[in-house]
Amino acid sequence: MVTVSPYKIDVPQEVIDDLRERLQRTRWPDEVSGTGWSRGCDLSYMKDLVRYWIDEYDWRNQEAALNQYNHYQGNVDGLNIHFLHEKGKGPNPMPLFMMHGYPWSFTMLLRILPMLTDPESYGGDPEDAFTVIVPSIIGFGFSEYPMETGFGFQHHPRKYDKLMVEGLGYPRYGIEGGDWGGFITAPYGFICPENLIGIHLNCLFPRLGDEREPEDKDPDILRGLGMKWAPLKPTDPDMLWYWKNVERYWIDEGAYCHQQMTRPQTLSLAISDSPVGMAAWIIEKWRAWSGWGGDFEKLFPKDMIITNVMLYWVTNSFWSAIRLYSESYYHPWELEPGSRIEVPTAVAAYPHELAPIVRKRAERYYNVVHFNKYSEGGHFAIHERAEEMSADLREFFRPLRRKENFLS
């Protein structure tokens, strides 16, 4: 039921030629002078980026660089899932399944990858080495999405677990996730706990359970902006701070989310026909969520930004990627009241995360045995704070891996 075969990225030249023609024919809108990034993507920035995309960016060079990694495709129950599989350099490398988010791709994890597979080269102990498996999560890039409705984030874990256990022969392994990858750790730990050594996450979004007080459940209460799971007036100061951050994100940043949850096909028709539209939709979030403002290209060079967009474009997978939002919205999953994930869990809490993690809330849903609160970093910490995150992963899994033999 699970087969694994080597995979090579090889985009047909006609796809690249078509893209170039579309970029050259871009019809630009106007903008109100002085608005910059305050109403979305800055027009002058996008024009400069597209000039670079046409004149200097080289997909074939980027494709060759990506193909230096070990790519595979696993067929799990008829569904093709693309992934990287990088073996660890140490006496007993631990399998670690690392999930990305939206609008990312597996490329966001490339910086941290060698720090985990070869810790000795980065001043660490080879005993802490990981064998790292990084998928294009289902629906993204080179991974397919089921063509029937109802496949939400809660259905991902069984596919990934089959890939790890039956396809790769890893009956015990760890998982890590941020953004949607962090979201997926919840059903993963609930559905497949016996196979997980531990869970590491750096993003804990709402909607894991109903956190309203009984008096907040009056059917005549209006629930503004879809935050139906949130308490109306949290009495705990930490939780009030948390929910105010969620509210700010939902009001100021959440329009894309609501569109992708409720009317993804309409958006897909526009985005899938315009590479500049796709780039603007994605890049706006990379800039806003990184917290680096005008310096965000110091964190994300142009080639990295464009390559991430290219992985959505050349696979025409924008529509299937955002289905994760709508299928999870129309087919929701929550933990039952009073239940939590008992797999040992680590939390790396960053101050500029979209919804900064509060420890007591994390402990409500997970068996948190390791918690580090950092002074810098945000939503893309897996890239931005790669050295710190790799150290956190090694520290957390070190005592958990001692009784495991991954080479048997």
**Nearest one of 223, 180, 177 to 201, comparing CA atoms:** 177
Q: Sort 7 into a burial class: Cβ within 10 Å, 0-12 / 13-18 / 19+.
A: middle
- pLDDT at site 218: 84
Q: What is the dihedral of CA 10, 12, 17, 22, to 10 degrees?
A: -90
Alpha helix (H) residue ranges in 131-274: 156-162, 180-191, 237-253, 255-262, 264-271
Angle CA 47–9–45, to nearest 5? 10
| Cβ atoms 133, 93 nearer than 8 A | no
CB crowding 294-313: b at 16 or more within 10 Å, else e = eebbebbeebbbbbbbbbbb
Among the candidates 225, 251, 277, a domain finishes at 251
C-alpha 172/C-alpha 266 separation (Å) is 41
- pLDDT at site 226: 67
Contacts of 343 (CB under 8 A, 6+ apart): 189, 193, 196, 198, 199, 366, 367
Let me know whether 223 and 134 are in one domain: no
Q: Looking at the domain assignment, is residue 406 inside a domain?
A: no
Q: Looking at the domain assignment, is residue 408 inside a domain?
A: no
Let me know whether 113 and 242 are in one domain: no
Q: Looking at the domain assignment, is residue 366 inside a domain?
A: yes
- Residues in the chain where the model's pLDDT stays below 50: none
CATH number for the domain that contains residue 115: 3.40.50.1820
- pLDDT at site 290: 94
| Cβ atoms 362, 202 nearer than 8 A | no
- pLDDT at site 171: 96
pTM for the whole structure: 0.96
Angle CA 379–380–386, to nearest 5? 130
Let me know whether 128 and 246 are in one domain: no
Let me know whether 131 and 204 are in one domain: yes
Q: Which residue has the tokens 């900064």?
A: 356
- pLDDT at site 407: 64
Active site residues: 179, 325, 379
Let me know whether 169 and 245 are in one domain: no
Let me know whether 102 and 202 are in one domain: yes
- pLDDT at site 176: 98
Q: Which residue has the tokens 């997926």?
A: 184
Let me know whether 303 and 158 are in one domain: yes
Parent domain of 67: 2-28+35-209+254-401
Task: Kindly state the DSSP code that residue 378 receives in the 8-state scheme.
Answer: B
- pLDDT at site 337: 85
C-alpha 176/C-alpha 242 separation (Å) is 23
C-alpha 209/C-alpha 333 separation (Å) is 8
Let me know whether 225 and 134 are in one domain: no
Let me know whether 279 and 243 are in one domain: no
Let me know whether 239 and 369 are in one domain: no
Let me know whether 110 and 53 are in one domain: yes
Per DSSP (E only), the strands in 292-340 are none
Q: How many domains does the structure of the chain reveal?
A: 2
Segment 325-379, tens digit of pLDDT: 999 999 999 998 889 999 999 999 999 999 899 999 999 999 999 999 999 999 9
| Cβ atoms 97, 163 nearer than 8 A | no
| Cβ atoms 200, 345 nearer than 8 A | yes
